[in-house]
Structure 1
Amino acid sequence: MRPHVELIHEDDYIWHVAELVGGEGRASERRLSVDEEDGSSSLRVDFHTDWGRSPGIHHANTEYHVLKGSMTYGGKTFGPGAYVYAPKGVPTDAITFTEGTQILHYREYGDAGFDRVESIQAPRWSDAREDVTVLDTAAMQWDAVPNAGPMPGLFIKYLHVDPVTGFYTRLVHAQEGWSDHRVAHHPCYEEAYTTQGRMTYNFGDLDLGTYFFRPARIKHGHFVADKGGTTWLLRSDGELHNWYSENEWVRWGADAVNYGPGGGRMRWSQSTHDRASGPSSRSEADLEALQASVRHSHSLGDTDSAYVPHAQRVDPSIIAIAKALDAANLQGGHGQEHDHDHDHGHEHGHEHPHLDWGASPASLEHPHERTDEGAYNWGFSRAIRPGEEIPAPILSSLPVRSRSRGRWDGDGM
C-alpha cells in the first residue's frame, strides 16, 4: 500500500541514482510515490547522458512517458509525449533516451527487476498477458469526456486500459474555466502529475511538476482550471467511479492534558476546507467559476447546494452539534448531575427518544473490507459491483507548507 501524498511538488523530493537495472548511462530519479510492500513506484527520471537498455523482460508492469527530450523504442524515435507500456513477463525491445531527456516512469505490482533476452521473440512468462503498447500521444486527438462532472470542458487521451483489472493510464485536460464545486471519492486509487498549466484547489495549486497519490476513498475537491487550462498524466488501479459530497464539514476537539492555555480544553474547528477563506482564500474569478459549476448542475436538473466558502456561512458542524444538544435535551436532560429523584425504571412516565448519530460506521464499509486481502487496509481499492453499498469517504489531515515552494500544499482531507 502506498501512503497518501497530496499536492507535493517534485522540487520537494531529493534526487537518487535511478534504479534502472541493466541500462548503460547515468540517470537520477525523484521517488514521487513508493509501495514498500511490492516495489510499485512512480518516478520522475532525468537522464544525464545518453542511456540505453537491450531487449528484456520487466518484473513489473512498466510505463515510460517522455516529458522532454526523445526516446527510441524498437528503432523508432519519438519526442515529448512518447509513451510505452511494457507488461511484466513480456519481452520488450531495446529502448534508449537521449541526454537531457526527462520522463515519468511507473512500475506497478513488482520491483525494478529486469532480465535481458536476445530478442522480443524470447518466451513470455507463463502468467504474462497483454502486449507492449507504444504511442505518440502528441499526435493523438483529445476526446471529450462524456461525463465530465458538473461542467463541460474535460478531455481525455486513453493510453492504456487493463482489460481484466480496469487499471488505466490517461492524459486528462481541463480547459480554462472548467470547475467542480463538489468533493469526490473513488473506489480506486488515483494519482496524477501535472504536465501543463495550473489548477486552483483547496489544498494548493496544481501546477507544472505537482503530484498527488490518493488511496481509495480519500475525499478531495473543489477545482478550477486557470488560464490556458491544465493537463495531467493520471492513473487509477481500477474503474473510477465518482461519488460526490457537498456541504462538507469536519470538527474535532479534545481536552488538552499538558498543552494549550492552562492545559485546558482545546477545540479545533478547522478543517482542510477552511483554506477556502482567509489569507489563502479563493479569488473572485475562482468563486464565480465554482458558482457557474453549480448553475450548470442545476440546468441539468441536479439539486446541488450552492457553493459557499467556509467561514462565509453558518458552519454545518455547528448545526450538527446544536441538533445533538437538542436531542439530548429531549431525553430529559438525564446526565450524571440531574437532581430529580424519580425512579429510572420503565414506570417513570416518559420515554427517551432515540438519539440518531447517523449511519453505523460498519454500514459505510465495502462488503469485503473485513474479509479480503485488503481487510486491514482501509485505503485498499476494491471493485464495486452493481447493487453494493457505496462506502463512505476517508478523511485525512490538514495541509502542510512546502519548504522549497514557500506555499501551502496539502496532505489530505
Structure 2
Amino acid sequence: MARPHIDWIQAQALPWRHDAIAARPGAEGKILSVDDQTGAASCILRYPPAYARAAEWLSADEEFWVLDGAIEVDGVEYGEHTYAHLPRDMPRSSFVAPRGATVLTFFSAAPLPSPGGAGRTFDGRRLVRRLSAADNVWDGDFEAMGLESMRSTARMRTLRKDPDTGETTYLTATIAFRQGERSERHPVVQEFFLLSGELSGDLGTMQAGAYCWRPPMVKHAPYGSWTGTLLLFRSIGGPQTTTWEDPDQPFTWTPAHRPVLPPELAPLMATPWPRPARY
C-alpha cells in the first residue's frame, strides 16, 4: 500500500482545500492520507449548509463518522457520532447536508462519481447502514485482537467487519488515568483518529484530532491518558491481532515529541500540539 507512515499528525494542522475530493465538489477537505496507486483516501470533509448531490453511484466504498452537523443519504439522517459503511456501486438516491456537516470519511479507492448505474449490483453483506455511538453498545472482542489486558480499563465496539477480508473498524474508549506497560505490533495496517481526549505514547502526546496510519508490524506504545480517550480504529489488510513486547523505554506521562511523518508534513508538527483551553 502506497501510503506513508504517519504516526501521528493533528488534523488541525492540515489546510482545508476546496474540492479536495472529486466526488464531493463544493465541499472543503483535509486529506489525512492517500494511496498514490489506488486513490484510496482518508479525509475530513466539510459540507456547507444546503449542500446536495443528486442520485449517483461511487466507484469506491465510502465509510464515514459524523464529527458534527448532519448529513442525509437516501433519506437516512446521520447526526453527530453516527457511522456508516456504504459499499461501492451502492445506488444513492440523494446526499444532502441541510445545515452543514463535518465528516471523517474513508474511501477504499479513488471515489469517482458515476452518473448512472442501471444494471449495477453491490454487495449487501458489506453494508452498514447506520450505527450511533449513543446506542451505548460495547460488543467488541478484546480476546480476538489479543488485547485482553485492556479489558478492565477500556470498552470496544465493533462498527464493521468485512465478511471476506476480516478488516475491522471499531471504537475504543479508555478510562481516565489508564496507563499501559508494554509495546505492541500488528500484522496489518492500523489506522486511527482520536475523537476525544488526550493520549500520550512513545512518540509524544496527542490531542483530539490526531490521526495515524501505521504500517504492519511497526512497534508502538505503551500509551496512557489522563483524560480518557475515544478512538476510531481501522485494520487494513485483514483482521487485527496483537503481539506484545517489552518497550524500548518505560511509559512516561511527558514523552518527547517525535512524531513519524513524511518530509512534507513534518514542519506542521515541529512542536507539541497545545492542549485545548478548558476554561
TM-score band, normalised by shorter chain: 0.7 to 0.9
Asked whether the 8 Å contact 1:92–1:132 carries over to 2, the reply is no
Higher strand share: 2
* Aligned mates of 1:66, 1:407 — CA distance in 2: 27
Shift of 1:129: 5.8
Asked if residue 282 in structure 1 is aligned to residue 253 in structure 2, the reply is: yes
More divergent stretch after superposition (127-136 vs 31-40): 127-136
* Residue of structure 1 aligned with 2:130, choices 121, 135, 139: 135
TM-score when normalising by structure 1:
0.57
Asked whether the 8 Å contact 1:64–1:84 carries over to 2, the reply is yes
Pair 1:168–1:124, CA change in 2 (3 A): farther
Identity, % of aligned positions: 22
Q: Which residue identity lines up with residue 271 of structure 2 in the other structure?
A: G
* Aligned mates of 1:242, 1:72 — CA distance in 2: 37
Tell me what 1:112 maps to. Answer: 111
Asked if residue 232 in structure 1 is aligned to residue 227 in structure 2, the reply is: no
Pair 1:144–1:168, CA change in 2 (3 A): closer
Asked if residue 17 in structure 1 is aligned to residue 13 in structure 2, the reply is: no
Asked whether the 8 Å contact 1:4–1:215 carries over to 2, the reply is yes
Q: CA RMSD in A?
A: 3.0
Asked whether the 8 Å contact 1:22–1:53 carries over to 2, the reply is no
Cα-to-partner distance string for 1:115-136 (whole Å, 9 max, x where unaligned): 1347xxx4324x8563532223
Asked whether the 8 Å contact 2:177–2:224 carries over to 1, the reply is yes
Where structure 2 has 5 or more consecutive residues not aligned to the other structure, the ranges are 275-279
* Aligned mates of 1:198, 1:208 — CA distance in 2: 6
Tell me what 2:244 maps to. Answer: 244
* Aligned mates of 1:128, 1:78 — CA distance in 2: 22
Asked whether the 8 Å contact 1:144–1:154 carries over to 2, the reply is no
* Aligned mates of 1:204, 1:212 — CA distance in 2: 13
* Aligned mates of 1:178, 1:55 — CA distance in 2: 46
Pair 1:401–1:91, CA change in 2 (3 A): closer
Asked whether the 8 Å contact 1:71–1:82 carries over to 2, the reply is no
TM-score when normalising by structure 2:
0.82
Shift of 1:154: 1.9
* Aligned mates of 2:97, 2:126 — CA distance in 1: 22
Q: Which residue identity lines up with residue 131 of structure 2 in the other structure?
A: D
Please list, as runs of the form range in 1=range in 2, the aligned pairs for 1:10-159 lying within 5 A after superposition.
Answer: 10-21=11-22, 23=24, 26-108=26-108, 110-117=109-116, 122-125=118-121, 128=123, 130-140=125-135, 141-143=137-139, 145-147=141-143, 148-151=147-150, 152-159=152-159
Count of aligned pairs: 262
Where structure 1 has 5 or more consecutive residues not aligned to the other structure, the ranges are 249-272, 287-395
Cα-to-partner distance string for 1:270-303 (whole Å, 9 max, x where unaligned): xxx59x6xxxx535xx9xxxxxxxxxxxxxxxxx
* Aligned mates of 1:22, 1:202 — CA distance in 2: 37
Pair 1:247–1:170, CA change in 2 (3 A): closer
Tell me what 2:277 maps to. Answer: none
* Aligned mates of 1:128, 1:145 — CA distance in 2: 25
SS in 1 for 2:211: strand
* Aligned mates of 1:242, 1:78 — CA distance in 2: 33
